[in-house]
């Protein structure tokens, strides 16, 4: 039966302590509601950024706004892939990835800001469909990703918190 109830916060044993910094950013007690609200709030902010600011970096060596969006897209896809595998009871260990090596070959600064915003919205919408279709057993399943145990429920909360983290950076460091 698809998810129709709130998806509560994961226990600390469901993820590495590192991810608490993202999970703790998420308000409320429902991962799906948080992901939906964040999507609306983030799009409202992102759509105000003029194309001319897309390649802006708040400091030398930092990602541009476009690269930050590309990073958000990549991470959301990867974490949702992990969630899908574990939700389907796949016990295969999933290797980690280095987000810093993913950004340069993504060539995000060659794309328009509007295109990246649209892609992020589509990825988020697809992931919401995935998460809404999960039943209680799927949410409790987990597996090893990057040599550490994580549950499907924790992955949904991490995606939400990671998105909030970078949206706040865009607001406070890139647009300040």
Could you tell me the mean pLDDT of each successive run of 10 residues in the chain, 176 residues long? Answer: 76 97 97 96 97 97 98 98 98 95 98 98 98 96 97 98 97 96
Q: What is the CATH number of domain 12-174?
A: 1.20.120.450
CA–CA distance from 39 to each of 31, 34, 97 (Å)?
12, 8, 24
Q: What share of the chain is helix, strand, coil (3-state, %, to 5)?
A: 65, 5, 30
Nearest CA to 69 out of 108, 127, 126 is that of 108
To 10 degrees, the CA torsion angle through 106, 110, 113, 114? -100
pLDDT value, residue 3: 53
**Nearby residues of 37 by Cβ (< 8 Å), 6 or more positions away:** none
The full length of the chain comes to: 176
| Residue 4: per-residue pLDDT | 60
pLDDT of residue 86: 98
């Amino acid at each position: 039966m698809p998810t129709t109830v709130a998806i509560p916060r994961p226990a600390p044993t469901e993820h590495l302590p590192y991810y608490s910094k993202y999970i703790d950013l998420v308000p409320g007690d429902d991962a799906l509601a948080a992901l939906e609200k964040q999507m609306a709030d983030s799009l409202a902010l992102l759509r105000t950024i003029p194309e001319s600011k897309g390649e802006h970096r708040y400091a030398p060596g930092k990602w541009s706004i476009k690269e930050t969006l590309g990073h958000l897209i990549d991470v959301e896809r990867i974490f949702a892939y992990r969630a899908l595998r574990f939700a389907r009871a796949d016990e295969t260990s999933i290797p980690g990835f280095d987000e810093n090596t993913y950004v340069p070959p993504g060539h995000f600064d060659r794309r328009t800001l509007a295109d990246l915003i649209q892609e992020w919205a589509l990825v988020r919408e697809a992931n919401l469909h995935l998460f809404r279709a999960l039943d209680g057993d799927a949410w409790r399943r987990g597996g090893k990703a990057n040599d550490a145990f994580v549950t499907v429920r924790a992955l949904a909360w991490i995606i939400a918190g990671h998105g909030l983290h970078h949206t706040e950076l865009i607001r406070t460091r890139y647009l300040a």
